[in-house]
Amino acid sequence: MGLLDFLSDKGEQKPVEPAAKPAGGTDFFGNNAAAANPSTAGDSYTVVSGDSLSKIAKHHYGDAAKWHQIYDANKALIGDNPDHIEVGQVLTIPSL
């Protein structure tokens, strides 16, 4: 069997299946990434012009009154005034 025979022989070859993603938000080493760093739990959202925490809460949770959860998760980034969020800030949207 020559090289060309090997390359042209389709036989019972099957395409390689991609590896399954680890379940439960694990990192490369199999550690629970969310438990190791609570600030990474949930989604992230980049603030755009005209946003407020209540608008973001309404969009993500369906309830504008849940803006406190977003503020509490991002207090170190936002500061003491929850009305002062800046365009371009990447906020963590915690899972409820």
CA atoms within 13 A on the CB side of 54: 3
Residues 17-27, mean pLDDT to the nearest whole number? 55
* Domains and their CATH numbers in the chain: 15-93 (3.10.350.10)
CA pair distance 59, 54, nearest whole angstrom: 9
Residues, the chain = 96
Q: Quick one: pLDDT at residue 37? A: 45
CA pair distance 34, 42, nearest whole angstrom: 8
CA pair distance 23, 39, nearest whole angstrom: 19
Tell me the pTM.
0.57
CA pair distance 20, 17, nearest whole angstrom: 9
The 10s digit of each residue's pLDDT in 26-69 is 555 555 544 444 444 578 999 999 999 999 999 999 999 999 99
Residues 3-26, mean pLDDT to the nearest whole number? 57
